Structures are given as C-alpha cells and as structure tokens.
Structure 1
Amino acid sequence: MAFYDGSVALKSGTIAVQSESWETERMSEGLKLIVISNGRLRCKIPDCPQTTISSPTVCAVWNLGENEGMQAFEPGTPIRYTAIELSPQSLGVHLAEDAQSMQERLRLKDNGRPHLMTVAATRPVQALCAQIAACPLKEGAPRTLYLTAKALEITALVLDTLDPSPAVAALPRLPPGDIERIRAAHDLLVSRLQSPPSLSELSLAVGINVKKLKTGFRHLYGDSVFAYLQQLRLGVAYRLLTEEDMSVSAAAYKVGYSPAHFSVAFRKKYGSSPKEVRG
C-alpha cells in the first residue's frame, strides 16, 4: 500500500529477504517515521552509529539536504512496516505553532545533519498500523482522508512519546559470545512458535544462564523473552490472516494459541479482532 496526498506520504507492507545485504537509499527531506511491527533490521545514517531495530519499534528520522542511508534486513523473518513521511513544508503547516517542541523532542542540533531516534511502538500506534493495513475504503478521496488521518494520528502519538529530556546512560555492552548465544535463543524461539521452550530450557539449549539470558535479551531486542515471543506470535498471525488468507483458528494454532486466547490477545495488540483484520 502506498499513497501521497501532497503533504503526507504513507507506505505499508511486508519485506522478506533470503540473505542479509546492505541497501543504500536516498533519504527524504523532513520527518520520516518507520513503525516496525514485526521483524528486525539494521540501519546506518550519516554521523549516527549503526542501529539495530527490533519490533515493535518506531524509528524517527529527521533529515535536510542530500544524504543517503543504509539498511540491512534480517533474512528469514518477514519485516512488516508502516512508513510515514512529512516534508518540511508539511511540518510547517501541521506544526507551525509547536516547532520548538518538535526540535526538543527529536533533539535536533543546528548542524543540519540527519538525526535518528527509536522508541517502542505503543499499542495505540500498533493498532493504527493494523487499521491502515486493513483500510476498508478502496479508492478516491474517502480513502485518502482516512489514511492521512491515521498517518497524522501516528505522528502525533510518536511525537508525544519522544522524551525531550537528554537520554540516560546506555546499557552496558554485551560480550560477543553472549550476543551470539542470545541471538541463537531468539532464532530458537522463532522456529518454535507453536511450542516454545521455557526460559530454563532456552538457556540450557544455547549455553547461557537464565539471568544473563533475560538481561541480554532485553538489551538486544528491547523486551522480555515472554513479551517478545507474544509480539512475534501475533505478528506472524497477522501476516497469515492478511497475506495468506488463513482462517482465524488455523492462524491461532499455527502460532501456538487456542482460538479464544488468540482473539483476546490479538484485539489487545491491534485494536481489532482477527476476523475484522482478515476481512
């Protein structure tokens, strides 16, 4: 899905790659928000350190001028995303009276260089992304108005989430061996959605103690093992419902849920029932 109404550009869809390789693209001017609902990627922009983004996350990028960014997607795991672009002119219209607040929240500097921030994708933001993907209007002005409103609502929620205060000290770096083991734990979870291992089984399988696994997993993926597993299951189920036309019960069993528990968890995450999303 893609549209541009003259002030807001919106793209939404799924990307799947078989091998990891860096891709270069020209950065658009203004503010770009990328909501990663499922999957993981790495990105680089000028004057910023390489950033690993794991779902569910919002990546906010501010850019002026001719710059290029790079990104690499994790192979084997579909990346489901929603990208919103607002040009400087559009921001001037929508945020004319609050430009200083936006600059503080994005921690923009006067050097004009690109800037990147990441925040967790809240449930309301994820629900709006699901509504965009399942837009009930097929064409014309009503569809454009509907999608523009959803895109601007996501922008408002993200800007409100960004903390204008300076960032606190970063988490300590993990030893390379621990990173490798924790990533192995992640891959094991992905391969066993129907019957995932317990924390103790997972730590034993990859050769790391439970405490290190819990702390390191949150450091790398931004959430606890259980919470990440739930988000992953629901993300896969969403794709099965919207892209593979699978029944609700089949999708639930595929990711290890009973249909009743699945419907409750799905609505809590996306704000819509599985049947509504499937259409």
Structure 2
Amino acid sequence: MSDILRLKLLIAYDGRPFRGWQSQATKDAVQDHVEAAFANTIGEKVSVQGSGRTDAGVHALAQIAHADVPTARLEVTAWQGALNNFLPPEIRVLRVTRAAPDFHARFSARGKIYTYRIWNSQYLHPLEIGRVWHMPSALDLDILRAGLVLLEGQHDFAGFAANRAPGYAAEDTVRTIQQITLSRRGELLTLRFEGNGFLYKMVRLLTGTLVRCAQGRAELTFIHELLAEKGARKTSFAAPAEGLYLTRVLY
C-alpha cells in the first residue's frame, strides 16, 4: 500500500480579502492559505492544486482542489476539521474525500459552471455589498436573452479574454458554452454559464458586454463582430469581480 494519499477537497470562499486563488509572492491568495493550513496541521509543506484560477475578489461556492499527504498522519474524515482550524473564516473546506491516484483537480475536469449576480435596482441592499454587481440603470431583458443565445455553442472567444503576460496566454481560445441561463428574483438577476472551459476574465467580459447591450449602449452586432474577428478586437466591458462565483466543477 502506498504511503501517500491523494485528497479531494471541496472549498468555498469569500474572495474579497484575497488576491484570487493562485499562489502569490505575498502569500495572500486562497491557495497560500490552504497550503499553510496543511503545513500547520502536519508540520510539512503540501502542494495544493486547484481546478483553476479565480481572480482577486471572485467568490467560490465549490472550488475543487487536490493534495497528496502522508497516509499515516490523519484519517480522511479528520482532515476537514483540522484544516478549518487553521483557515481564516472567509475560507472553508466543505468536504474532504479520498481521490484516485490519477485524479487531478484541473486536468480531470470536463467543465465548469459560473454564476454572475446583478442587483438591478436604484438602491443596493446592504447585505449584498461585495456580493453582486449593483446596476441601477434599466436593462432590456429581451436584448440580454438574445445576447445569451449568440454566445452559446462553440466559438473562438479571444475577443472576450483579457490580455495576459507573455507565456501565460492561452494558445487555443476556442471554447464551448453549453448553456447560459438568465433568471430573475425581485431585484436580483442571475446569469449561469456552463462551459467546457473559460479564458482569463472571460465570464466577466461576457457579462459586461451583455449588460452594455441591455443598457442600449451597444448593439448585439458588437457580439457578432467580436466572435467573428477572433481576437483582432477585444471588448473592454468587464463586469466587476464581486458578482462572480465559481459554482461547480464538472468531472
């Protein structure tokens, strides 16, 4: 029997205090805090691999990560409590299970679901501060729904990806969005994006551009053009980070 056990972690976090998921030199990313919790628990460094990056300020309801730990240290059922003892209150491990040795939080994933929340009212409810995009102006929901249809399916989404430093940009910018749904409950609009993968800031740029059209400040032809030009031109209308949630990773 191997003396190394691979754990699968389900993690939720309020993204506001952190510089995203990915480890930073300043050690103030979510990944840094989870790795520090492992080190404090067993006294040695453990590498934690997430399903993907979330930007600074973006929340997660169900980030998935994996980590390899010595088998003899703790029972699987004890890891959740042990890690949460050392994590800030804005990060919680919701579940820990034994994973197959070849499971990889990122490379085993076949898709993700993101949710974007918009508070469409003149006044923002105080308990939604930092958790939604406050949009006081009127939105044409028919235009918004028409825009969702344009974005579904397989497209080159380079026009909806923020620029990255050399060496970090995605070489392949073709992605498939299986479904985008819009729901409304009172002042709250919720967009749900399900796709096989998303580029850097893609969901925020999609949402920002859709809202721009729904405000009457851009035509739906703008979306057509961005998809057709395959990155020759990019949208600059990015929705703020605080409305975005990593909702589920699909395996």
Same fold by TM-score, threshold 0.5 exceeded? Answer: no
Structure (1/2) with the larger strand percentage? 2
Structure (1/2) with the larger helix percentage? 1
Kindly indicate whether structure 1 or structure 2 has the higher relative contact order, using CA contacts under 8 Å at least 6 residues apart. 2
